[in-house]
Copies of this chain bind each other. A is one copy, B any other.
Amino acid sequence: MDISTKQFRRCDLVKAEGRIDSNTAPEVRDAFEAITEDGRFRIVFDMSEVTFISSVGVWVLLETQKTCKRYNRGDLVIANVNEKIQHTLDLAGLLTFFRIYDDVLEAVGSF
């Protein structure tokens, strides 16, 4: 799957395109880990081009969120989450673990 990352002064932007399922979730995790293992814990995840996410994908986000929020050092926020994905997070009872922004600019500007 296509994943791009971009480093800003105060946060990193990760954008994934396509399906995040058991097959592709590891690639997303690698992208996040490349950032957190570099000691940066403020991440914006742009989901505008994510067409599908399963619980396995959600767990990758939440493992990353745990890493980011530990010691109050950061946050993983999500931008451009479509209704269907938002509904999935909500049904699973996991929506509350994320700050969600309407667009990437708002999300980057929040750090």
A residues engaging B (CB < 8 A)?
6, 8-11, 13, 104-106, 108-111
Task: Give complex CA distance A93, B11 in Å.
Answer: 34
A-B contact pairs, 16 of them (CB 8 A): A6-B109, A8-B106, A8-B109, A8-B110, A9-B109, A9-B110, A9-B111, A10-B109, A10-B111, A11-B109, A13-B109, A104-B105, A105-B105, A105-B108, A108-B108, A108-B109
Give Cα A61 to B82, complex, Å.
Answer: 38
**Distance between Cα atoms of A109 and B12 in the complex (Å):** 9
A94 to chain B, nearest CB (A): 25
A6 vs B105: C-alpha distance in the bound complex, in angstroms? 11
